[in-house]
Structure 1
Amino acid sequence: MVTHMYSDYGATVLFATTTIMCSCRKYESIGILRKHAFKVFDRNDVFILPPRYIMNRWTKYAKRGFCIEKIESENETLKTHAARLSRKATSLALKCSMSKPLLDDLEKALDKLNLEADDSLNKMQENEVPLVSNDPGNYKMK
C-alpha cells in the first residue's frame, strides 16, 4: 500500500502491477485519475498509462460511433436520428476531403442513396405520407 499526501487531504492508493485503487474513488465514480494516482505510477516506474485507464471518450475514436448504443434508443426521435446521421455524413466528407477520387466516390454514393430514397418515398402509400396543401382556399379567415 502506498500513501500519497497533498495539501490537507491524504489519499490511500493501492498499487499492484499497473492497477490502481485509491480512497478518493474518483476514477471508479466519474472516470478521472487524480494526481496522487499518477504519482504512484511515477514512483513505481510506470511511465505509459495502462490502457484500462484511457477512456474511449478521450481518444480520437470517440466520435466514430463506437459508443452509439446509448444514443440509439426507442426514444430517439426522427429529428435527433437525422441530426446524428448528418454529423456522421459531415465527418465522412471531411475524411474524404484529402483525396479528389475519394470525394468523387462519396458523391456518387450519395447520389445513388438519394435516388434510392426518392424511389422508396414514391412507393409509400399515400395514406402513410401526410399531404400538405399550400392552397389558401383551404383555410378560413376570421
Structure 2
Amino acid sequence: MLLHSPQVADGWNSLLGAVRQRMTLPADIRELVILRIAVLNRALYEWVAHEADARAAGLDGRHLDALRTEDAATHPDLDERQRRVVAYTDAMTRDVHVPAHVFDVLRPHFGPAELVELTVTAAAYSMVSRFLVALEVEPPTGTGG
C-alpha cells in the first residue's frame, strides 16, 4: 500500500528500520509494545507480522495471551517491567497523555536513551496500526488472520 507514495515509503522504511534494527531497547520489550498496540488498535496484520519476532525475542504463549487481555498491565504472567511497559503503552495509545506516575516507574528499568526509544516505538507502531486499520490491510490468507 505504501508504494503508492514512494516518498512516504522511503521515510517510513527509514524510521521503522531504525526502530527495528538500530536501537538499544531490548527486542522483547519492542515486540511487547508492538503487539500490545496491535491489540488496542485491532490491527490484526500488525499482530500477525510480529508474533514470530516476539517469540524469537523470548515472549511465549503466556505473554502473548496476557497482551490480549484488558488487564494486561496487571496480568500475573507478565513480570514487573513488562507490566509497566504495557501501562505506558496503554496510556500513550489510549489517552496520548501519560500520567507522571506511569512514566516514573519505568525509570528503574530503562536508561534515558531506552526511554526515548520505548516512546518512539510506541508512537511509530501506533502510526503503523492506524495506517493498517484505516486502509483495511488484512494479513495474507493462511497466516493466522
TM over 0.5: no
Considering fraction of residues, name the structure with more helix. Answer: 2
Greater RCO (CA < 8 Å, at least 6 residues apart): 2
TM range (shorter): under 0.3
**Quick check: which has more Rg, 1 or 2?**
1
Considering fraction of residues, name the structure with more strand. Answer: 1
